Chains A and B, each alone.
Chain A
Amino acid sequence: MKKILAFALALVLVLSACSFATAEESVADVIAQAQTMTLEELFKKAIEESNGKDFYAVGNSSRGKSALPLFVEALQQIDPSYTLNWDWQQPKENKIFDQLTEDVNGANHVMSMTLIQDGNQIQSKMLDTGVLLNFVPKDWTEAEGLARENNEYPLALQTLNKVFMFNNLGEATFTNMWDFVAEGQAPLFMGVNSELVGKNFLYMMTNEKYANLAKEAYEAWAGKNADDDALIEDMKQDAAELGLTAENANYGLAWVYLWCEKYNEMTDDGPICNTLVTTSAVDQSGLLVYSKLRSVEETAESSVNNVTVAAYQDDYTGIGGYAYKHYLMLTKSSPLPWTACAIIAFMTTTQDGFKAWGKDMGGYAPVPACMQDHSKDGYVDGVNTFDAKNDRGYDWWLNDGKLVVEDPAYCASVSGTMSDWIDGIVSSK
């Protein structure tokens, strides 16, 4: 009896190991094939695979819920009988990484794909571990005007910007990135441990490119004093101990230190925006998602015209904010990989697929054809009424606005030491 039981258990173990290996190969195999197919071919594969089935995805952005019905409609144009019972989940409190890991490593694989942010954790928890697999659609690689750099691996759905703004009803001026960390400032910002892309931004400030920008801005800054000079010098030791290799890392690190010491933590960018646009928020500043300006209703107390986007000033020096990305990937154990590939291709190469995100300013798809024009969002009846809402576009923000762009590999390489250094400062405020 014992022998039979042991044999049965062994058989179950072997079979489950085999089935897992097959599933893993098959998703990678599907991706390899799918990368050579057009959108229409992917649609047909998706119809074959998932008609009438349950499809599960998990995302940091709730707007996937708006995109999926459009995907189903697109497939119904090919096969009117096509249906898909989809469920788009949005976990709280950074649990998306645990959920994906458990889904892939557990016995019951449900999730087919994800829309996910935070390059640092994606690199260390999802890519290095093989939990997620990257898929690059053929139509995407062949798209006209494609912004391929930093968007291919992992595949980016969009780049979002968070920009420096300030309430302009007072006397304070913010014409340099160092003005936001000057004595007496308390810029509004989401906590570094509640939205981790903010922490990634701080890691990136020590990267060579952005540390150099910090140095240039510091040298041009009229507000600096001897204490600041001493701090910059002193930060060389910290940079060395943290293993930072950029020549001017001490400038970036000094800015990060001052920022962490001074920022006023808010629960979300929404409240930051609602605060900054009011008449009582005189001289307040903040770093927040640009698109939040779209949500302000004009009243006697609140107006978009009460804020200035720092980087839009002609005499502004330094970084104008930072950029992070929403990535699209398949799970290693995706139950419906063809459908997941078709959805990713749909979202990243068509205007309908990107519509749920494209209607907002401040979010930029790598494929220009997906984008909507937001350069005149501040115009009312042909008159430029709310200048802050006129989005100057992806290229402008990268080159002139000098956004700090998240690099997952760099973030992952310094987070081990810098995270504690930052937490130490924040906890002693």
Chain B
Amino acid sequence: MSTFASPKPSSFRRKMNGVWTYISKPQNAILLVLGIILTVTTIFPMVTILQDTVKLHPGSIDTTNSNAADAQFQALGGTYTAYNWTNLLGDTITTRVGRERVTRSVASIYLITPLLNSVLISIFACFGAILYGGIFAYLVTRTNLKFKKYLSSIFIFPYIMPQWTLAVMWQNLFNSNAVTGGNDGLLTSVFGIRMPLWWCQGLFPVSVVLALHYAPFAYILIGGIFRNMDANLEEAATILNTPRWKTFLRVTMPLVKPAILSTILLVFSSAMGSYPIPHYLKLSTLSTQYVGMSSNRAGQASILAVIMMLFGFLILIVNQRTTSGRKNFTTVTGKSGQSSVVNLRAGKYILAVIFLITTLATGILPIILFAIETFLPNPGDYSFLTHGIAGHMTTKWWMTAENVTENGMYGQKGILYNSEIWNAFGGTLIVAVLCALAAGTIGTLIGYCVSKNRRSKWAAYVNNMAFLPYLMPSLAVGVAFFVFGSNVGIYNTFLLLVLARTVKYIPFASRSALNSMMQLSGEIEEAAIIQDIPWWKRMTRIIIPIQKTSIISGFLLPFMTCLRELTLFMLLCGQGKIITTMLGYFDEMGLYAFSSGINLILIVLILVFNTLVNKLTGASLDSGIGGGK
């Protein structure tokens, strides 16, 4: 009897077999590809901007002032210098303060104050947003507050609107000739009330406006937990005679803690990267300083962007240390049998009235003022109100069909006839749709694949890489993609806008998908695998239909936020490319009628889409990231 020894495969072949086995699983292959793509799209722009800090910029001080000390850098080709770092962090200049000659460090002028302000507004914005949004979330989800449905819809309006619109409204309401210079705002001209300077400009109004803008974010995240929280825990505490305040602090709060931390992480970076609000309300921050320095100190402006990025990394580390992302978001969407409702008694009316007033001020009043502004003869000219002359209203901002310079039109046609405005709207819709599709699809795939590889380090890496850009301040990401886009010749193209936006907002979809996929039992898909159903069919026939609400939320949020994004886009394209850059242009020019009209159209558009998607799928903005219904 002869025996046949099967040939032993070579080590290379065994390795190849291992690789083939690994990538033959769709989730592994997708993770591999997405990991590489995300590494390139996330890391490469960051490396580019880091490189920009040591490059020579013609016409910038690094060219005019760098010297032989840079010989070691110049040996690299004569185009590199350490001057931007050494000058910003170590040099001094002589200037004047209060007529006195003083020597100041360069850092104190260009870095320290803006950095301090950026950190402060981020902290205050987090605090304000969590306090206002968190209380509102609790009242809406866990109490018998009146007018919940109405309040819930209105509360998210400031998040829907471009963030600087509240800042412009703040100016128009509170500025006064006697305090801020210029003309009187509405409060002064109608009621004679003059607010102090700290109220009108600087740290306070910037923090308040940012907090109001991001409070809906806190409401969405914290509300998601409150809505789905298992009431059995609280009920157990009640049965054990625990005082209500103690139950709240010891039971409810720990459950909400992950959502609060998530809110802090997301709001902090968003607030830090905000450009328009500090710009309008006159506060020097890293973002405003970046724009101001980009002509004469281009390399040092990139250092500011790098610092903003470091905050992003820091936040990611904090996120990893304090709470695992999965645990956090599993809590958010954990299904609950029931939740208890606290009876506020008379408070349900009192608190409802308070929130009716505050949401009126932050959600409805801006819309009313936007609408009125489009009928004023000159920007901010309320003659019809202060002098009671109805004839001092006009439809010219909407109806002018000719290209005229007279009467404040600045050569623009009325909104209804203005092809530039509608083209920009078209551009925005293109970018928003493509971003939603790209971010939604990639995010969903990441969510799916990570949930299938929970213990894999590569999966964790891909997940973090997808989340990192969201933790980066928008301006820093914009700067990175500007440098990247300029280098590869795609500046001012839709491609660059879609790329930047997709990378920035994949987390909306990935987190949403991950949360929902984690709830999905593996047995469902395994049953299909046993039946030899192909992967794409399992996805389209089983996984996606089951989790469609969460997945659609992952598409909806990038789409909605894309419609009103400015900070990320302002460096990436010309002002007529998309509607928010055009809106920003009109606001800067003081053509508030145009910007108000565009704002109105934007809000209506978002509400229509939100309602439409809500009716069709059950997903909506105020049901939150990964929330669904």
CA distance A415 to B60 in the complex (A): 10
User: Given A281-B177, A294-B405, A274–B95 Cβ distance below 8 Å?
Assistant: no
A224 at the interface (CB under 8 A from B): no
Q: Which of A274, A295, A427 contacts B409 (CB 8 A)?
A: A295
Question: Smallest CB-CB separation from A91: which chain B residue?
Answer: B574
- Distance in angstroms from A26 CB to nearest chain B CB is 20
State the interface size on chain A (CB cutoff 8 A). Answer: 80
- Distance in angstroms from A338 CB to nearest chain B CB is 24
Question: Smallest CB-CB separation from A273: which chain B residue?
Answer: B590
Chain B residues with CB under 8 A of A257 = 96, 99
Beta-carbon contact of A302 and B486 below 8 Å: no
State the interface size on chain B (CB cutoff 8 A). Answer: 77
Stretch at the interface among A7-15, A45-53, A97-105, A339-347: A97-105
- Distance in angstroms from B405 CB to nearest chain A CB is 6
CA distance A188 to B209 in the complex (A): 24
B343-389 contacts to A (CB < 8 Å): 377-383, 386-387, 389
B109 at the interface (CB under 8 A from A): yes
Beta-carbon contact of B101 and A237 below 8 Å: yes
A275 at the interface (CB under 8 A from B): yes
A23 at the interface (CB under 8 A from B): no
B277-334 contacts to A (CB < 8 Å): 279-280, 282, 284, 291-296
Chain B residues with CB under 8 A of A98 = 482, 486, 491
Chain B residues with CB under 8 A of A268 = 588-590
Stretch at the interface among B178-186, B450-458, B607-615: B178-186
Question: Smallest CB-CB separation from B389: which chain A residue?
Answer: A300
Question: Smallest CB-CB separation from A94: which chain B residue?
Answer: B295
Most buried by A among B293, B383, B403: B383
Chain B residues with CB under 8 A of A295 = 405-410
Question: Smallest CB-CB separation from B378: which chain A residue?
Answer: A302
CA distance A125 to B574 in the complex (A): 20
CA distance A421 to B296 in the complex (A): 13
Beta-carbon contact of A266 and B182 below 8 Å: yes
Beta-carbon contact of B182 and A94 below 8 Å: no
Question: Smallest CB-CB separation from A192: which chain B residue?
Answer: B292
A112 at the interface (CB under 8 A from B): no
Q: Chain B, 56-73, contact with A by CB distance < 8 Å: what is the 0/1 string? A: 001101011100000000
B573-587 contacts to A (CB < 8 Å): 573-576, 581, 584-585, 587
Beta-carbon contact of B58 and A128 below 8 Å: yes
A381 at the interface (CB under 8 A from B): no
Question: Smallest CB-CB separation from B491: which chain A residue?
Answer: A99
A105-125 contacts to B (CB < 8 Å): 106-108, 110, 121, 123-125
Q: Chain B, 394-411, contact with A by CB distance < 8 Å: what is the 0/1 string? A: 100000000101111111
CA distance A265 to B184 in the complex (A): 16
A278 at the interface (CB under 8 A from B): yes
Chain B residues with CB under 8 A of A280 = 177, 183-184, 188-189
Question: Smallest CB-CB separation from B410: which chain A residue?
Answer: A295
Beta-carbon contact of A91 and B405 below 8 Å: no
Q: Chain A, 275-295, contact with B by CB distance < 8 Å: what is the 0/1 string? A: 101101110100000000011
CA distance A63 to B576 in the complex (A): 13
CA distance A356 to B411 in the complex (A): 9
Q: Chain B, 434-447, contact with A by CB distance < 8 Å: what is the 0/1 string? A: 00000000000000
User: Given A102-B487, A301-B386, A424-B109, A360–B405 Cβ distance below 8 Å?
Assistant: yes
Chain B residues with CB under 8 A of A428 = 95, 97, 104
Beta-carbon contact of B182 and A284 below 8 Å: yes
Question: Smallest CB-CB separation from B180: which chain A residue?
Answer: A264
CA distance A412 to B432 in the complex (A): 42
- Distance in angstroms from B260 CB to nearest chain A CB is 35
B94 at the interface (CB under 8 A from A): yes
CA distance A358 to B589 in the complex (A): 20
Number of CB contacts from chain A to chain B under 8 A: 218
User: Given A108-B489, A300-B383, A93–B571 Cβ distance below 8 Å?
Assistant: yes
User: Given A270-B589, A416-B64, A427–B284 Cβ distance below 8 Å?
Assistant: yes
B139 at the interface (CB under 8 A from A): no
Question: Smallest CB-CB separation from A424: which chain B residue?
Answer: B95
Most buried by B among A97, A99, A121, A267: A267
CA distance A280 to B378 in the complex (A): 14
CA distance A415 to B573 in the complex (A): 28
Q: Which of B295, B383, B488, B590 contacts A299 (CB 8 A)?
A: B383
User: Given A93-B570, A267-B279, A302-B377, A124–B59 Cβ distance below 8 Å?
Assistant: yes
A29 at the interface (CB under 8 A from B): no
CA distance A415 to B296 in the complex (A): 9
Q: Chain B, 174-203, contact with A by CB distance < 8 Å: what is the 0/1 string? A: 000100111110001100000000000000
Chain B residues with CB under 8 A of A427 = 109-110, 113, 284
Beta-carbon contact of B381 and A89 below 8 Å: no
B148 at the interface (CB under 8 A from A): no
Chain A residues with CB under 8 A of B587 = 267
CA distance A280 to B187 in the complex (A): 13
Beta-carbon contact of A301 and B295 below 8 Å: no
Chain A residues with CB under 8 A of B36 = none
Q: Which of B61, B109, B378, B574 contacts A297 (CB 8 A)?
A: B378
CA distance A273 to B380 in the complex (A): 12
User: Given A301-B381, A427-B113, A278–B409 Cβ distance below 8 Å?
Assistant: no
CA distance A92 to B63 in the complex (A): 24
Q: Which of B96, B182, B591 contacts A238 (CB 8 A)?
A: B96
CA distance A424 to B238 in the complex (A): 62
A60-111 contacts to B (CB < 8 Å): 62-63, 66, 89-95, 97-99, 101-103, 106-108, 110
A245 at the interface (CB under 8 A from B): no
Q: Which of B94, B109, B280, B406 contacts A267 (CB 8 A)?
A: B280
User: Given A121-B59, A267-B279, A297-B377, A419–B296 Cβ distance below 8 Å?
Assistant: yes
- Distance in angstroms from A292 CB to nearest chain B CB is 9
Chain A residues with CB under 8 A of B296 = 415, 419
Chain B residues with CB under 8 A of A294 = 405-406
Beta-carbon contact of A296 and B589 below 8 Å: no
Beta-carbon contact of B378 and A274 below 8 Å: yes
User: Given A281-B182, A424-B104, A99–B411 Cβ distance below 8 Å?
Assistant: no
B122-175 contacts to A (CB < 8 Å): none
Q: Which of A94, A101, A284, A359 contacts B294 (CB 8 A)?
A: A94
B464 at the interface (CB under 8 A from A): no
Chain B residues with CB under 8 A of A398 = none
Beta-carbon contact of B182 and A425 below 8 Å: no
User: Given A125-B58, A193-B292, A416–B65 Cβ distance below 8 Å?
Assistant: yes
- Distance in angstroms from B439 CB to nearest chain A CB is 24
Q: Chain B, 66-94, contact with A by CB distance < 8 Å: what is the 0/1 string? A: 00000000000000000000000000011
CA distance A66 to B63 in the complex (A): 38
A223 at the interface (CB under 8 A from B): no
CA distance A17 to B410 in the complex (A): 45
User: Given A275-B182, A278-B183, A294-B405, A421–B93 Cβ distance below 8 Å?
Assistant: yes
B392 at the interface (CB under 8 A from A): yes
User: Given A299-B383, A300-B383, A302-B377, A92–B570 Cβ distance below 8 Å?
Assistant: yes
B492 at the interface (CB under 8 A from A): yes
B409-431 contacts to A (CB < 8 Å): 409-411
A246 at the interface (CB under 8 A from B): no
Chain A residues with CB under 8 A of B575 = 62, 90-92
CA distance A99 to B294 in the complex (A): 13
Beta-carbon contact of B104 and A270 below 8 Å: no
Chain A residues with CB under 8 A of B93 = 420-421, 424
- Can you identify 22 A-B contacts, CB atoms within 8 angstroms? A62-B576, A92-B570, A102-B487, A106-B489, A227-B99, A264-B181, A267-B280, A268-B588, A274-B183, A277-B378, A278-B381, A284-B182, A295-B407, A295-B408, A297-B407, A301-B378, A302-B378, A412-B59, A416-B65, A423-B95, A425-B96, A425-B97
**A92-B575, A424-B94, A427-B113 known, 7 other contacts, Cβ within 8 Å:** A66-B403, A95-B571, A193-B295, A270-B589, A271-B182, A295-B408, A297-B407
- Nearest 3 A-B pairs (CB), nearest first? A424-B95, A124-B59, A270-B590
